[in-house]
Amino acid sequence: MSSVPERSEIEAEYKWSIGSIYASDEEWDDAYEATQEAIDDVRAYEGRTTESAATLRELLETYEEVMRQVSQVVQYANLRSNEDTRDQEYQAMAAKAGSLSSEASSAASFLEPELQGLEGDDIEAFLEEEPALAEYEHYFDDVLRMKPHTRSAEVEELLADLSEVTNAPSETYSMLTDADMTFPTVEGPDGEEIELSQGNFTTLLQKPDREFRQRVHESFYERWTDVRNAVGTTLSKSVKKDVKMAEARNYETAREAALDGPNVPVEVYDNLVNTVRDNLDSLQRHADLKRRALDVDDLEMWDLYMSLTGDEGPEIPYEQAKELVIEAVAPLGEPYQERMAEGLESRWVDVYENRGKRSGAYSAGTYDTQPFIMMNYQDDVSSMYTLAHELGHSMHSELAKGAQPWQYASYEIFVAEVASTVNETLLTEYLLENAESEELRVHALDQYLERFRSTLFRQTMFAAFEQAIHEHAEAGEPLTPDVFDDLYGGLKEEFYANSRVDDHIRREWMRIPHFYYNFYVYQYSTGISAAAAIVERILEEGEPAAADYRDALEVGGAEYPIDVLEVAGIDMTSPEPIESAIGVYDEYLGRAEDLLDL
């Protein structure tokens, strides 16, 4: 029987080096206590933020010192809790860290309301008096920009205090789906029993045996039926939280509030959804190509993840994946390539799935730590692409940290999803030119098409769903599991009009954690669009375009996201990057038709 191992069964070299943050849990305890005491140093400035330029500088320096400590305490606890979500000790540690973060946010909640008491001329006078404040100019601009949506210091403190409570829907969903839920076993093609998990679900849907794929699909979604009401409640409460928080900050809609944080125009969202919906024939061309490749009358939802070759593709062990990804990013310059290679040898990555481990993949870290990449590596082409994706995030962080002070080293997700997808695109180009086997070359092309399908089209469908459920709540309409099914199922039928949408797939919304992230998913779609344009420039122009791209990564959060992408030569306020990306998708579909003679 195939089963998921316990964490203790995985060798240390395939686990992230969390000891680089704190050597032990006891050291974390000491840091927690010291940080909790340091929070009072920030509180001491309440009411004094703008009394003088010197006081403001001292406050900002104190705030940075405390928040850097908080971020390390939180990071360690979250990584530990994600290693095994069943471990109650580490769940308690993460809860304590979350409370500490809320306490720190509450203690500093006076800062921005008090800063907003200044006018532009006041800021200029402060900058002249204290030259050290010059590095905060963009921060000051951002704070003053948000003045219409910032409440009194008292209300801001209350909202900060409530963050631990308002995060409850997302945290409850995570504990339910990662720690409490177990999935059934199904009979494999060779008669063996295979245990389903969130980590291996899509991998199993790439197996050639169609009846097996159907068993996987139906068994997996039937399990979700058992928690239907619980998941429906958590998502409903999460949406209502977004709506109420937007109202508290004087926004008309939750979407407007979410996009205004990073200063992304709402038109960018509309351009994306409308442009993709106008080009669904490209997605349906891909679906029909799969149908012909599989030689079936109707494409079912359990066929969507299948390779165009009709097989599951070559096995790509982790060590081979590392080598290929490193070679693929050569167009970004030797220093970039070497730093990535060093990181992979320095245990940035927590590689394999284990029981209780958080599902999915992500890149994390703080200004004072190395990057940490969570994987659930499955020895396949898809996992190799996920590794390239997360390394894009990590390298973005490394470049931004190296070029920016603390307050600008972090960056908006809108920009982050460009860096990850540039790596994926370069990996595809490298494999199409250099893969040692025709099998890998074909599967690389197929994987890139899948990434386009699942990133540009699927995530845009998610974005349309997210907008619909928030509009439903804003209109005062109830959000029940049946409503979610109807809204999601309708979109699935629109996007996959030439495929058969079954009742099980209407429940797919239940397994998507990103719906708890408040208008997050559209940025995957804008990211792949920008990335396609950036890679095209790099391959055509060489080092000058690569230098522009690296410069954009180094900007971090020192400029607004739309302006950051302009450094790389991309205008995301126009539909053009979306249309260009769909053109690339169509071009690759044509290449697949030729390679496979379909």
Residues designated as active site: 390
Give phi and psi for 373, each to the nearest 5: -115, 120
- Alpha-carbon torsion, ordered 117, 121, 125, 131, to 10 deg: 90
C-beta separation of 456 from 585 below 8 A: yes
The pair of three-digit structure tokens given for residue 406, joined into one six-digit string: 């603390």
Q: How far apart, in Å, are the Cα atoms of 168 and each of 98, 333, 462?
A: 11, 43, 22
Quote the CA–CA distance of 321 and 556 in Å, as a whole number: 28
Provide Rg for the chain, Cα atoms.
Answer: 24
CA–CA dist 501, 34 (Å, integer): 55
Rounded to the nearest 5°, which phi and psi values hold at 67? -70, -30
Give the separation between CA 56 and CA 62, rounded to whole angstroms: 10
Longest dimension (CA), the chain: 77
Q: Is residue 314 within 8 Å of 440, Cβ to Cβ? A: yes
479 within 8 A of 239, measured Cβ to Cβ? yes
Question: Which residue, among 354, 349, 347, 396, has the nearest Cα to 561 in the 3D structure?
Answer: 396
Secondary structure of residue 186 in the 3-state scheme: strand
Q: What is the DSSP letter of 194?
A: E
Tokens read off for 550: 């690296």
Q: List the one residue out of 537, 528, 380, 533 whose CA is nearest residue 452.
A: 528
Cα–Cα distances (Å) from 347 to 22, 238, 323, 404, in that order, read 15, 35, 15, 24
> Two tokens at 249?
């900050």
348 SS3 class: coil
Is the separation of the CB atoms in 359 and 198 below 8 Å?
Answer: yes
CA separation for the pair 296, 300 (Å, rounded): 9
What sections of 404-457 are H helices per DSSP?
Answer: 406-409, 413-434, 438-452
Do 300 and 214 form a contact (C-beta atoms < 8 A)?
yes
Residue linked to tokens 């990306």: 581
Q: Are 343 and 350 in contact (CB under 8 A)?
A: no
* Coil, helix or strand at residue 214: helix
- Per DSSP, 256 falls in state H
Nearest to 273 by CA among 447, 445, 471, 420: 471
E-only strand ranges, 316-453:
349-352, 362-364, 372-377
Q: Which amino acid is at 116?
A: Q
Alpha-carbon gap, residue 237 to 480, rounded angstroms = 11
